[in-house]
Chain A
């Protein structure tokens, strides 16, 4: 069966510091991968998605970037965090060509 991992689970970072969140998927190959952000009391906002290694599409211009160095690894980064980057970051995967997405446990980021 397929599983999706995210780490860290919780992160507290000062403003201006760098960020690296990691997501890995097991039990499948060639997945589509997604990064979402969920602000308190709000829906999920799609940040990036990837259909293959090195292929990244950005949905919202912002302070963040994404990379996919391996087939089942997706990384969310920032060079300098802003207060507004605080939130719950979720990674998701879907089988290529399928609509259903499956989410990881999330990373709660607090920027102070």
Chain B
């Protein structure tokens, strides 16, 4: 079993939609959870990070961690074409362990 699993997509949504991006992980010891956004042919940029369970909101983005089910989510409200990118989840377990990334396309 992979340590982090993420649906690679691609996921295509219309502008203004609510997007849900998800990851599952296997190690219950993970405490920090990062989300990175990567535009095509660019380096990943840190979007948000959360500690332990619960929600964290930053503008249109909400990160949610459910440690009981080992499930991580990133919600994007009022999605924009500029949100089109690959989103990588990365729990921290001594080192960052990256998911495969979900490719998101927001159509105008």
Closest to A107 in B: B43
Q: How far is the CB of B94 from chain A (nearest CB, A)?
A: 10
Q: Chain A: interface residue count, which band?
A: 10 to 19
What 0/1 readout, one digit per residue, does chain A (44-58) give for beta carbons within 8 Å of chain B? 101001000000000
Task: Find chain A residues with CB under 8 A from B95 CB.
Answer: 46, 49, 59
Q: Which residues on B sit within 8 Å (CB–CB) of A106?
A: 41-43
Shortest C-beta distance, A92 to chain B (Å), equals 8
A44 touches B98 (CB 8 A): yes
Question: What distance in Å separates the Cβ of B47 from its nearest Cβ neighbour in chain A?
Answer: 11
The 3 closest A-B pairs by CB, nearest first: A103-B43, A43-B98, A44-B98
Which B residues have a C-beta under 8 Å from some C-beta of A? 4, 6, 8, 32, 34, 36, 41-46, 49, 88, 92, 95-96, 98-101
Give the interface of A toward B (CB within 8 A).
Answer: 6, 41-44, 46, 49, 59, 90, 92, 99-106, 108
